């Protein structure tokens, strides 16, 4: 009995002990299911939900007039749910046929489709419509489509290095695509795939993408196109290994074109050498050579250390600097300074640089923006190479004066030349005109930025005269453009042979930088050819004609009135209105009192000045051709014609006065010129104009 009592006692003890265990289990349940539940919910959704990021719809990239350079188009992406695939082998074979895959891809596909532990695999992303249709026709189980978007560059190679491309991972590479990737990309569409007990996607919860911002570039498609075509022709004709051309509006710093050779088609970027993706105009530095003499001259003139008429001793073809003999490219003796530049005497500019001294010269170079990034919105911009003044050696000053011992980027060079063209302001180069959101609202619109004033208008006037002489009587005669006065400078820079540690006697870079019209520059153009071959391969032989072709088209495209009219209009030098028009970006130049008309109908442009009429026509998307000079006497299409973008518009001009019916007082040319030049101060009210109101 004693034993039974003991057993029963121990029974009680065990019952309580095991019950206590049960209580511990209950406590654990509460801990897990009440207190830690949110954490486990997260873990569960982490493993049972898959978020697929679909390529978002990138915003388009447009030229300054809204023409599409890069667009996003819908593309179907093909996926598979391996567990739903009946027969991986047969399915892969059918897909391979429809998609045109090779044997190794097909084998990969068999492996992918056999991975039943995965519930979602991409088969092929961003299919073209033909192949997508072919796959859809197959009606294979376990194969489905999701809509993504694919980048498409409708103009193919046009502005390829400016635009960049979009890589496989939907990130922009190079160009604007990379620089503004965050803005263009928008928010990725997310598809949350929830799986049922068999891990098959039962539902897709789509969080729609937001389309990225549209980028309106300052690039003008037409100028870009011609720059590329002419550059390619020149590169091919001269056998150059590379080349670039940059066109800039000196008043605003807006880049109108950047052409690169060799180039690539961003739709098929992988088929091209990666060398072609880089924008050489910002990512590569080159030794400018003689075109750099512009800035030596500018500094010397500005400091009053030299005048155009001063005769410089050019040493008979060489000069000794610190015991080192510098040979000129020709034998020159006594030259007026204007001819030192026009004939590009190295010794002549060395003399000027020596007068400036290294500190003063160095300061000017930095003021012109050399050795610093311009801040243009393009990736991989380099600051170039300009050593600090303290680290210049004995011949640095001399070398720099004619453009050696310095690495500059094309964009720096163009901006510096623009500072001469626009009356002395270094403008920040701009490639982005504005950003628009998906609804077309302006998100940002950077204003032109004048970095600093480098030259006085007086210096600019004198320097411009000298640079005009380069084209009229000097090395750059082939840069001349019919009807326009061009100012510029040639350059033939020997390439430094790093193997031989000296400047090559054969290979060189031929360049030309210039602006036009010289008296009221609308464009600055820099062209450069790397290692042109042939008998005549100097800057003046190969780069100057290229400049002429690109600049001529750009001037016509921008409806810049020829100087043939200008000769008559030329006001007395130093006239304040002229200076005002030249030194500051002139808003009036682009706001012509013609905007009231219906933009779809051809306005009556008769009686208008060439510039007004051409600007009005260009704004309506017309390709303007100006014939003659003076005022418009004939126009095609006729007033009131319905317009389409890209139509040709021929404006025939005549210097013989055409009386505007509503402005009987305007007659003699002299009076007209005053009106024209003073317009910023006294704008013509649109209401008084009968122009642009359709047929009359």
Partner 1 sequence: MAKKLSADLMLFAVTAALLGFGLVMVWSASSALAQEQHGSAYHFFLRQLGWALCGLIAMILAMRVDYRRLRNPAVVYGLFGLTSILLITVLFMPAVNDVHRWFRLGALSFQPVELAKLSLILFLAFHLERKREQVDHFLPTLFPALLLLGWYAFLVFSQPDLGSAFTLGLIACAMMFLAGVRLRYFALLFAAAVPVMAWAVLTANYRVARIQAFLDPWAAERRSGSGYQLIQSLIAVGTGGVTGAGFMEGQQKLFYLPYPYSDFIYAVIGEELGLVGAALVVLAFTLFLWRGLRAAWRAPDAFGLLLAAGVTLAIVLQAFINLSVVLGLLPTKGIPLPFISAGGSSLLFTLVGVGLVLNVSQHAD
Q: Can you give the binding site for partner 1, defined by CB under 8 A?
A: 3-4, 6-8, 10-11, 14-15, 18-19, 21-22, 24-26, 28-30, 32-34, 36-37, 39-41, 43-44, 47-48, 195-199
Half-sphere exposure of residue 393, counting CA atoms within 13 Å on the CB side?
9
Return the DSSP state at 149.
Answer: E
Residue of 307, 292, 299, 371 whose CA lies nearest to 337:
307
Q: Which is nearer to partner 1, 17 or 100 (CB)?
A: 17
CB of 12 to partner 1, least distance (A): 8
CB of 140 to partner 1, least distance (A): 21
CB of 91 to partner 1, least distance (A): 19
Q: How far apart are CA 70 and CA 156, in angstroms?
A: 9
CA 355 centroid distance within chain: 38
Q: How far apart are CA 499 and CA 242, in angstroms?
A: 20
CB contact at 8 A, 164 and 173? yes
CB contact at 8 A, 249 and 523? yes
CB of 1 to partner 1, least distance (A): 11
Residue of 560, 648, 649 whose CA lies nearest to 605:
649
Q: How far apart are CA 605 and CA 637, in angstroms?
A: 10
416 in helix, strand or coil? helix
> E strand or H helix at 135, and its extent?
helix 129-138
> E strand or H helix at 232, and its extent?
helix 221-238
Q: Which is nearer to partner 1, 30 or 138 (CB)?
A: 30
Q: How far apart are CA 299 and CA 459, in angstroms?
A: 9
What would the two tokens of residue 677 be?
């030049």
Q: Which is nearer to partner 1, 10 or 133 (CB)?
A: 10
CB of 427 to partner 1, least distance (A): 57
3-state helix, strand, coil in the chain (%, to 5): 40, 25, 35
Residue of 690, 624, 344, 317 whose CA lies nearest to 510:
344
CB contact at 8 A, 291 and 490? yes
CB of 79 to partner 1, least distance (A): 20
CB of 21 to partner 1, least distance (A): 5
Return the DSSP state at 178.
Answer: H
Q: Which is nearer to partner 1, 47 or 322 (CB)?
A: 47
Burial of 402 (0-12, 13-18, 19+ CB in 10 A): buried
Residue of 515, 516, 512, 514 whose CA lies nearest to 539:
512
CB of 30 to partner 1, least distance (A): 7
CB contact at 8 A, 308 and 466? yes
Q: How far apart are CA 505 and CA 405, in angstroms?
A: 17
Q: Which is nearer to partner 1, 14 or 205 (CB)?
A: 14
CB of 89 to partner 1, least distance (A): 21
> Which residues contact residue 593 at a Cβ distance below 8 angstroms, ignoring those fewer than 6 apart?
612, 683, 684, 685, 686, 689, 691
Burial of 526 (0-12, 13-18, 19+ CB in 10 A): buried
Q: Tokens 């003499």 belong to which residue?
A: 293
Q: Which is nearer to partner 1, 194 or 619 (CB)?
A: 194
Q: Which is nearer to partner 1, 30 or 684 (CB)?
A: 30
Q: How far apart are CA 126 and CA 117, in angstroms?
A: 25
Q: Which is nearer to partner 1, 30 or 536 (CB)?
A: 30
CB contact at 8 A, 495 and 287? yes
Q: How far apart are CA 328 and CA 346, in angstroms?
A: 5
Q: Which is nearer to partner 1, 8 or 156 (CB)?
A: 8
340 φψ region: left (φ > 0), alpha (ψ -120 to 50), beta (else) = alpha
CB contact at 8 A, 119 and 238? no
205 beta partners: 192
Q: Apex CA 69: angle with CA 647 and CA 516, to 5°? A: 65
> E strand or H helix at 71, and its extent?
strand 68-80
Helix 576-583 to helix 457-473 angle (10° resolution) is 80
Return the DSSP state at 593.
Answer: T
Q: Which is nearer to partner 1, 195 or 430 (CB)?
A: 195
CB of 13 to partner 1, least distance (A): 8
What would the two tokens of residue 263 be?
């180039």
CB of 113 to partner 1, least distance (A): 18
CB contact at 8 A, 291 and 475? no
Q: Tokens 């530049």 belong to which residue?
A: 341
Task: Give the count of beta carbons closer than 10 Å to the beta carbon of residue 372.
Answer: 13
């Amino acid at each position: 009995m004693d034993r039974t009592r003991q057993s029963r006692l121990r029974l009680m003890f065990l019952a309580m002990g095991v019950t206590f265990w049960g209580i511990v289990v209950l406590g654990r349940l509460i801990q897990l299911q009440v207190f830690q539940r949110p954490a486990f919910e997260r873990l569960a959704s982490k493993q049972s939900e898959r978020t697929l990021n679909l390529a978002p719809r990138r915003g388009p990239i447009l030229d300054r007039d809204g023409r599409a350079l890069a667009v996003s188009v819908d593309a179907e992406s093909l996926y598979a749910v391996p567990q739903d695939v009946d027969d991986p082998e047969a399915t892969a074979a059918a897909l391979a046929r429809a998609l045109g895959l090779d044997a190794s891809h097909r084998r990969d596909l068999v492996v992918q489709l056999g991975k039943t532990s995965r519930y979602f695999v991409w088969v092929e992303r961003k299919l073209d419509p033909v192949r997508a249709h072919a796959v859809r026709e197959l009606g294979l189980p376990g194969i489905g489509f999701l809509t993504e978007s694919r980048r498409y560059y409708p103009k193919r190679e046009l502005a390829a290095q400016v635009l960049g491309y979009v890589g496989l991972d939907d990130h922009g590479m190079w160009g604007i695509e990379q620089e503004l990737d965050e803005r263009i990309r928008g928010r990725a569409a997310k598809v949350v795939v929830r799986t049922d007990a068999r891990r098959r996607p039962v539902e897709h919860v789509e969080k729609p993408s937001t389309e990225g911002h549209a980028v309106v570039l300052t690039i003008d498609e037409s100028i870009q196109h011609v720059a590329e075509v002419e550059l390619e022709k020149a590169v091919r004709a001269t056998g150059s290994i590379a080349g670039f051309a940059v066109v800039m509006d000196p008043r605003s710093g807006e880049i109108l074109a950047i052409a690169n050779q060799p180039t690539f088609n961003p739709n098929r970027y992988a088929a091209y050498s990666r060398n072609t993706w880089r924008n050489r105009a910002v990512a590569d530095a080159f030794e400018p050579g003689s075109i750099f003499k512009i800035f030596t001259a500018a500094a010397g003139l500005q400091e009053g250390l030299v005048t155009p008429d001063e005769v410089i001793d050019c040493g008979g073809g060489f000069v000794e600097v610190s015991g080192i003999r510098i040979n000129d490219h020709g034998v020159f003796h006594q030259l007026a300074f204007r001819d030192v530049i026009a004939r590009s005497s190295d010794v002549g500019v060395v003399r000027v640089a020596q007068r400036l001294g290294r500190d003063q010269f160095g300061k000017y170079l930095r003021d012109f923006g050399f050795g610093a990034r311009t801040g243009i919105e393009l990736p991989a911009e380099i600051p170039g190479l300009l050593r600090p003044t303290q680290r210049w050696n004995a011949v640095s000053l001399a070398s720099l004066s004619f453009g050696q011992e310095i690495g500059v980027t094309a964009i720096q060079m163009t901006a510096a030349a623009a500072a001469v063209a626009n009356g002395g302001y270094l403008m920040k180069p701009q490639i982005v005109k504005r950003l628009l959101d998906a609804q077309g609202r302006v998100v940002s619109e950077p204003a032109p930025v004048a970095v600093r004033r480098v030259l006085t208008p007086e210096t600019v006037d004198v320097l411009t005269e000298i640079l005009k002489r380069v084209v009229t009587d000097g090395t750059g005669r082939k840069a001349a453009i019919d009807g326009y006065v061009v100012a510029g400078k040639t350059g033939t820079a020997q390439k430094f042979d790093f193997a031989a540690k000296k400047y090559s006697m054969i290979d060189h870079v031929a360049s030309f930088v210039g602006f036009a019209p010289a008296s009221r520059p609308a464009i600055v153009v820099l062209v450069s050819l790397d290692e042109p071959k042939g008998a005549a391969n100097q800057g003046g032989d190969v780069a100057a004609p290229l400049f002429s072709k690109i600049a001529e088209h750009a001037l016509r495209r921008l409806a810049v009135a020829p100087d043939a009219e200008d000769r008559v209009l030329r006001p007395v030098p130093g006239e304040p209105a002229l200076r005002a028009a030249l030194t500051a970006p002139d808003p009036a130049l682009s706001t012509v009192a013609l905007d009231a008309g219906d933009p779809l109908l051809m306005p009556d442009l008769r009686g208008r000045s060439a510039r007004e009429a051409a600007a009005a026509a260009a704004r309506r998307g017309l390709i303007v051709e100006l014939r003659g000079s003076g005022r418009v006497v004939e126009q095609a299409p006729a007033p009131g014609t319905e317009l389409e973008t890209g139509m040709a518009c021929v404006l025939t001009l005549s210097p013989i006065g055409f009386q505007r019916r509503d402005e009987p007082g305007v007659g003699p040319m002299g009076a007209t010129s005053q009106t024209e030049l003073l317009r910023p101060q006294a704008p013509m009210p649109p209401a008084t104009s009968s122009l642009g109101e359709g047929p009359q």
